[in-house]
Amino acid sequence: MDSAVSGSRIGYLPDRDQVLMKMLVAGPFGVGKTTLIRTLSEIPTLHTEEVMTETGAPVDDVAGLPDKTTTTVAVDFGRLTLPGEVVLYLFGTPGQRRFFPLWQDIARGALGALVLADTRRLAESFEIMDMVEEQGLPYAVAVNCFPDAPAHSAEVLRGHLDLHPDTPLVLCDARDRATSVEALIALAEHVLHSLPSLPQEQR
C-alpha cells in the first residue's frame, strides 16, 4: 500500500450504532494468521507498526549498548461486518513471549483468541496457549491443515496439545472461507459458554 491516503481504497464504516468486537488470531510465525485474516476480512488487511521496547531479551549481545532494544513489529488486522450491526475485528498477534506487553495491549477487551497450530510443529503453539491462559482469554485451537503436513485425528491432536476437555479444537484451511468461519464459530460458542449463565445485573 502506498503512503498516500486515497479515499477510494478506504473502507469507511457506516455511521450507525454497530457493536465493534475484537478477536485475536494468535500463533507462531508462518502458521497462517495473516492468511486466515485475509480470507475472512472484507477490507484489504491492514497493519500497524508497533514499537516495542524489549528488556533483557536474550537475542542480541552487543557490547557497549544498554540491554534494551526497540523493535518494530507489524500487527495485521482485518474486519468482518456481520448481520445484526456487529463488526468483528481480527488481530494477528505475535507468538513470542518477548512481545507479551504488546500482546496484552492488543488483547485488552478482546472476546477471545483463536490459536493457530501446524501439525508439523505443534509445540510452537504451547507458549501462545500459555500466554492466552495467563491473560484469562477464552480460546479455541484451530489446526491449519497444510497440504504437505501429516494428518492426525482430532483426538491425537488434543492429546499432543494437552488441551483442556472444554477447549474446542477444529481443523481448518486458512485459505478457505468456510472452514475459517467454522473456526470462529467454535471460538464464539466457547466464549458464550465461558460467560456467566445469568444475565449481568443491571446497574
Partner 1 sequence: MTAVPPRRRMVPAYLATGGRSRPSRTAFDRLTLLHSASPDPPQGLEAEHRRLWELLRPGALTLVEAAAHLRLPVSATNFLAADLVDAGGLQARSPIPRAQQIDRTLVERLLDGLRSLR
Q: Where along the sequence are the contacts to partner 1 (CB under 8 A)?
A: 3, 5, 7, 10-15, 17-22, 29, 33-34, 46-51, 71-77, 79, 82-86, 88-89, 92-95, 99, 106, 108-109, 111, 177-178, 181-182, 184-185, 188-189, 191-192, 195-197, 199-200
CB 193, min distance to partner 1, A: 10
Q: Which is nearer to partner 1, 47 or 158 (by Cβ)?
A: 47
* Cell numbers given for 181: 468461519
Q: How far is the CB of 52 from partner 1 (least distance, A)?
A: 10
Q: Closest distance between partner 1 and the C-beta of residue 121, in Å?
A: 16
Cβ atoms of 90 and 40 within 8 Å: the answer is yes
* CA dist list (Å): 191 to 32, 149, 184: 22, 29, 10
Task: State which H helix or E strand residue 24 sits in.
Answer: strand 19-26
Cα-flanking dihedrals φ and ψ of residue 115, to 5°? Answer: -95, 120
In this structure, the strands spanning 19-26 and 112-117 are parallel
Rounded least distance, CB 140 to partner 1, Å = 13
Q: Which is nearer to partner 1, 85 or 162 (CB)?
A: 85
